[in-house]
Amino acid sequence: MKAFFFDKMFETVVLSDTVFSVPSRYQKLAPLGVGAQGMVCSAYDTVTQQNVAIKKLSRPFQNVIHAKRAYREFKLMKLVHHKNIIALLNAFTPQASLEEFQDVYLVMELMDANLCQVITTELDHERLSYLLYQILCGIKHLHSAGIIHRVILGMSYKENVDMWSVGCIMAEMIRGEVLFPGSDHVNQWNKIIELLGTPSLDFMMRLKPTVRNYVENLTYFEGSPFHELFPDEFFPSGSTDNDRLRADQARDLLSKMLVIDPEKRISVDGALMHPYIREWCEEGEVNAPAPDPYDDSVDEREHTVEQWKELIYQELKEYEVNHHIE
């Protein structure tokens, strides 16, 4: 159901019980999906004459965690510019003052498909390896700005922690299902060691004592070899071009990414140079100019919700000035 209300600059549209108040340049709004961080709709931008995705952040000021997450997402999207990372095209709030401020909207490139749709598609080796190449290029660009995921095991972390996520994505594209389905972090950790085996003592000693005690008290698992976890029949048939891409190459790359100990896991550069990936490498894409380093000094400090709100509002206003937002 759609309901329209017009004021001077914004049109208000109700999509799946979520109110979208957007500049009138955006037309033909239609819901795309709802995630943990907000709802996304598609729209047609009458100014640039292109289809876009508009994300309304979900209640960004309900608590400190949501406010900090909204700040980080906006700051990061402003920072990075790479063909393999969804670009920020616009950002706005319909509220005219800090006192009224409550909604944050991010306008992004609209993708033809999402990962869930890709996973359900029958992929040949060319498409699978090229998709992984694009992911790796995007991650390498993020790393060049000092942007990496944080791990939950109480360890120090570095760039190759992200390779675990790439391995999980690759495994899901191959198997057509989640490799480590867990109901929570603890349950998921149990699934991981059941399949991959109990990690080494060297790895255990680098965990926080409380985490180490938990892991050490679990049942010991040998783990399954990768040719059993990912037999040939799970993979596409050989490449159409003289079998230059094969199941054994894909399985080898996967085995190097899905390593519990990040110290022994393949790096992004190592993965890009792997025989299953390297044929796609283009210098301008792999080593694109690095963005400005991400300064996490602000979001590492403690702030109240109202302080986060003011920081985000300032970022939005600065964006509007720098990009001459209509």
All residues at 6 or more sequence positions from 15 whose CB lies less than 8 Å from its CB, including other chains? 2, 29, 30, 31, 39, 41
pLDDT for residue 233 is more than 50: yes
**pLDDT value, residue 154:** 47
Residue 53 in tokens: 């995705």
pLDDT for residue 155 is more than 50: no
For 181-192, write each residue's pLDDT tens digit.
Answer: 888 888 888 899
Helix (H, G, I), strand (E, B) or coil at 223: coil
High-pLDDT (> 90) share of the chain, %:
55
All residues at 6 or more sequence positions from 185 whose CB lies less than 8 Å from its CB, including other chains? 152
Segment 3-30 shows an average pLDDT of 81
Segment 284-291 shows an average pLDDT of 90
Q: Which of 36, 30, 37, 35 is nearest to 16 (CA)?
A: 30
Query: Please, which pLDDT band fits residue 310 given cuts at 50, 70 and 90?
Result: very high
**Residues 258, 167 contacting (CB under 8 angstroms):** yes
For 234-270, write each residue's pLDDT tens digit.
Answer: 988 765 554 567 899 999 999 999 999 988 999 999 9
Spans of all domains in the chain: 4-110+293-323, 115-286
Choose the CATH number for 4-110+293-323 among 3.40.50.360, 3.30.200.20, 2.60.40.10, 3.20.20.20: 3.30.200.20
How many other C-beta atoms can be found within 10 angstroms of the C-beta atom of residue 11? 18
Residue 149 in tokens: 């995921």
How many other C-beta atoms can be found within 10 angstroms of the C-beta atom of residue 162? 25
Segment 18-31 shows an average pLDDT of 94
pLDDT for residue 145 is more than 50: yes
| Domain 115-286 class in CATH | mainly alpha
Cα(268)–Cα(249) distance, integer angstroms: 16
Q: Which of 224, 115, 223 is nearest to 169 (CA)?
A: 115
Q: Indicate the average pLDDT of the chain.
A: 87
**pLDDT value, residue 9:** 82
Identify how many contiguous H helices and E strands the chain contains and give both numbers: 12, 8
Segment 301-325 shows an average pLDDT of 88
Cα(192)–Cα(165) distance, integer angstroms: 13
Q: Amino acid identity of 178?
A: V
In order, the DSSP letters of 124-160 are: -HHHHHHHHHHHHHHHHHHHHTT--PPPSSS----GG
pLDDT for residue 1 is more than 50: no
For 167-210, write each residue's pLDDT tens digit.
Answer: 999 999 998 888 998 888 888 888 999 999 999 989 888 888 88
